[in-house]
Amino acid sequence: MSQGFERLTVDVLSDGEFRLDGGAMFGMVPRERWEQFCPPDERHRIRLATHGLLVRGPGFVLVLEPGIGGTVDRDAFALTKEPSLEASLSGFGVAPKDVTHVLYTHLHFDHAGGGDRFPGARHLVQDLEWRTAQRPSVLHSRSYREEDRLPEARVTLLSGETEPLPGVRVRPTGGHSAGHQVVILEDAALFWGDLFPTRHHLSPARVMAYDLDPLVVAERKAGLLRESAERGWLNYLYHELDPRPFRLDADRGRYSIAD
What residue ranges bind Zn ion (CB under 5 A)? 110, 194
Question: How far apart are the C-alpha atoms of 231 and 249, rounded to whole Å?
Answer: 11
Question: How far apart are the C-alpha atoms of 45 and 25, rounded to whole Å?
Answer: 9
Residue 176: CB minimum distance to Zn ion, A = 8
Strand partners, 160: none
Instruction: For the beta carbon of residue 105, count every other beta carbon within 10 angstroms.
Output: 28
Instruction: For the beta carbon of residue 43, count every other beta carbon within 10 angstroms.
Output: 11
Decide whether 21 or 186 has the Cβ nearer to Zn ion: 21
Instruction: For the beta carbon of residue 158, count every other beta carbon within 10 angstroms.
Output: 22
Decide whether 148 or 194 has the Cβ nearer to Zn ion: 194
Decide whether 69 or 167 has the Cβ nearer to Zn ion: 69
Decide whether 11 or 194 has the Cβ nearer to Zn ion: 194
Residue 172: CB minimum distance to Zn ion, A = 17
In the chain, the N- to C-terminal Cα span, in Å, equals 15
Residue 208: CB minimum distance to Zn ion, A = 9
Residue 101: CB minimum distance to Zn ion, A = 20
Residue 143: CB minimum distance to Zn ion, A = 9
Residue pair 217/230 in contact (Cβ under 8 Å)? The answer is no
Relative to beta strand 101-103, strand 60-64 is parallel
- Please, which residues have CB within 8 angstroms of residue 32's CB and are 6 or more apart in sequence? none
Q: Which amino acid is at 165?
A: L
Residue 111: CB minimum distance to Zn ion, A = 5
Residue 39: CB minimum distance to Zn ion, A = 20
Phi-psi region of 241 (alpha: psi -120 to 50; beta: other; left: phi over 0): alpha
Decide whether 61 or 125 has the Cβ nearer to Zn ion: 125
Relative to beta strand 122-126, strand 101-103 is parallel
Residue pair 105/181 in contact (Cβ under 8 Å)? The answer is yes
Q: Which amino acid is at 3?
A: Q
Strand partners, 3: 10
Decide whether 129 or 194 has the Cβ nearer to Zn ion: 194
Decide whether 113 or 245 has the Cβ nearer to Zn ion: 113
